[in-house]
């Protein structure tokens, strides 16, 4: 028997004996009445004790737990190696935290949030605590929310595409005819009163401005080049329009040849460039924006760097989910990617990494 303060641990025995001190009573009550499933193992990873919540979650009795290796008993088939690695790390004195899967006695797989905590007494590893919380319903809810968000994003993108097509195919064409007629009218009233000529000229200019605005709106809703020629062409046209409107130079580094990818991937990256440029215009004050797109080992990497100042997480206003930087981050995560935003005194860097193995090449 080893004594460590008020803990008396019989190594190799399925019990953990605690002296009858008030602190020991509190500790036992804390473990037993805790709603989180707790199991205690000794320094050799042998079962020592567990609370009622652990028995309810995994459905094993203390005798069954004592007679078997815990990892072999409750590790789900696909995470056996992961469970062994976690055990090794905790027995080496490392605290671990992860969300994984475990198996109940009836064979049901449950999602659990797991904490593995080494117990040191007098600088010696006396045992480990395993804390398990069933997060199956939480994960199902999150999955349902993600699926709903995906559907809403798809519906929103399809609606943008429809409106952009309608603007391009109908309103833009009608405005083009109006502009043509007004140019003809300018010639017809060339000898008329100056008031009439000015009125026609102003009307022609106004019609041209409306045409340009509708063209820009149609493009921003859904650029036709994205469907027709792919991501590099769409980004190039977006950058050129941004330069003309803002006076901010855009330095592009794009691959000469890039295959086609799924609509979701191309739209996501295009929207990130679009949102990044909008933030530079609103908040950065940078005279230039550097944009690069690379394909590396089944990954697309998009980088947008400005040279502004004063643009940080506090100055960029928070928006509802689905829009802005937060919306882009969520969209990339749903596609298995990652969006990082680094703020510094000399500028902001936005990096988007997105896997392409589930997409297609033309």
Question: What CATH number did the domain enclosing 327 receive?
Answer: 3.30.565.10
Residues 103 and 213 in one domain: no
Q: State whether the Cα torsion 140-141-142-146 is positive or negative.
A: positive
* Model confidence pTM above 0.75: no
Alpha helices in 60-109 (DSSP H): 62-66, 70-74, 80-91
User: What is the secondary structure of 305-316 as a DSSP string?
Assistant: EE--SS--TTTS
Residue 328: what pLDDT? 76
Residues 279 and 329 sit within 8 Å (Cβ to Cβ): no
Residues 243 and 251 sit within 8 Å (Cβ to Cβ): no
How many structural domains is the chain composed of? 3
List Cβ neighbours of 225 (8 Å cut-off, separation of 6 or more): 233, 234, 237
CA distance 355 to 255: 17
- Domain holding 349, by residue range, is 225-362
Residues 53 and 167 in one domain: no
Residues 289 and 352 in one domain: yes
Residues 194 and 242 in one domain: no
Residues 174 and 167 sit within 8 Å (Cβ to Cβ): no
Residues 250 and 337 in one domain: yes
Residue 168: what pLDDT? 65
Residues of the chain scoring pLDDT < 70? 1-24, 150, 168-169, 218-220, 225, 309-324, 357-362
Residue 219: what pLDDT? 64
Residue 317: what pLDDT? 42
Residue 181: what pLDDT? 85
CA distance 18 to 35: 21
CA distance 225 to 215: 13
Using CB atoms within 10 A of its CB, is residue 84 exposed (0-12), middle (13-18) or buried (19+)? middle
Residues 186 and 240 in one domain: no
Q: CB 355: neighbour CB atoms within 10 A? A: 15
Residue 4: what pLDDT? 39
Residue 9: what pLDDT? 37
Q: Which residues does residue 117 pair with via DSSP β-bridges, in sequence order?
A: 129
Residues 285 and 170 in one domain: no
Residues 8 and 121 in one domain: yes
Residue 22: what pLDDT? 66
Three-state secondary-structure class, residue 13? coil
Q: CB 42: neighbour CB atoms within 10 A? A: 22
What is the side-by-side order of every strand in the sheet holding 2-4? Answer: 2-4, 7-9, 16-18
Token representation of residue 321: 């989910």
CA distance 358 to 63: 47
Q: Which of 82, 100, 134 is the last residue of a domain?
A: 134
Q: Which of 83, 106, 134 is the last residue of a domain?
A: 134
Residues 191 and 269 in one domain: no
Residues 248 and 175 in one domain: no
Token representation of residue 256: 């000469």
Q: What is the DSSP letter of 262?
A: -
Residues 238 and 336 in one domain: yes
Task: Tell me how many degrees the CA angle 77-78-81 measures, rounded to the nearest 5.
Answer: 95
Number of alpha helices (DSSP H) and beta strands (DSSP E) in the chain: 12, 13
Q: Which of 73, 106, 134 is the last residue of a domain?
A: 134
Residues 70 and 164 in one domain: no
List Cβ neighbours of 57 (8 Å cut-off, separation of 6 or more): 37, 104, 110, 132, 134
Three-state secondary-structure class, residue 293? strand
Residue 95: what pLDDT? 92
């Amino acid at each position: 028997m080893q004594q460590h303060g008020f803990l008396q641990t019989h190594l190799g025995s399925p019990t953990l004996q605690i002296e009858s001190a008030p602190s020991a009573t509190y500790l036992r009550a804390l473990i037993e009445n805790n709603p989180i499933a707790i199991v205690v193992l000794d320094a050799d990873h042998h079962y020592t004790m567990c609370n009622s919540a652990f028995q309810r979650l995994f459905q094993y009795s203390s005798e069954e737990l004592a007679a078997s290796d815990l990892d072999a008993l409750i590790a789900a088939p696909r995470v056996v190696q992961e469970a062994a690695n976690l055990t090794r790390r905790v027995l080496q004195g490392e605290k671990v935290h992860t969300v994984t899967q475990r198996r109940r006695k009836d064979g049901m797989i449950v999602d659990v949030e797991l904490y593995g905590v080494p117990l040191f007494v007098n600088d010696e590893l006396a045992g480990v605590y395993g804390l398990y919380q069933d997060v199956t319903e939480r994960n199902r809810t999150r999955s349902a929310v993600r699926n709903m968000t995906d559907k809403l994003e798809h519906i929103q993108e399809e609606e943008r595409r429809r409106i952009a097509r309608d603007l391009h195919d109908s309103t833009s064409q009608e405005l083009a005819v109006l502009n043509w007629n007004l140019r003809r009218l300018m010639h017809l009233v060339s000898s008329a009163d100056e008031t009439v000529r000015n009125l026609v000229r102003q009307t022609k200019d106004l019609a041209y401005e409306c045409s340009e605005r509708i063209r820009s709106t149609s493009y921003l809703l859904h650029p036709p080049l994205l469907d027709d020629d792919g991501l590099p062409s769409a980004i190039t046209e977006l950058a050129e329009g941004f330069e003309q409107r803002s006076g901010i130079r855009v330095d592009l580094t794009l691959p000469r040849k890039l295959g086609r990818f799924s609509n979701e991937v191309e739209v996501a990256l295009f929207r990130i460039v679009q949102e990044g440029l909008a933030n530079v215009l609103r908040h950065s004050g940078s005279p230039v924006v550097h944009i690069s797109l690379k394909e590396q080992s089944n990954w697309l990497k998009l980088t947008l760097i400005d040279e502004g100042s004063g643009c940080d997480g506090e100055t960029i206003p928070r928006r509802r989910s689905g829009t802005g930087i937060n919306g882009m981050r969520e969209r990339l995560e749903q596609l298995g990617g990652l969006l990082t935003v680094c703020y510094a005194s000399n500028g902001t860097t936005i990096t988007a990494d997105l896997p392409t193995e589930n997409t297609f090449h033309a």
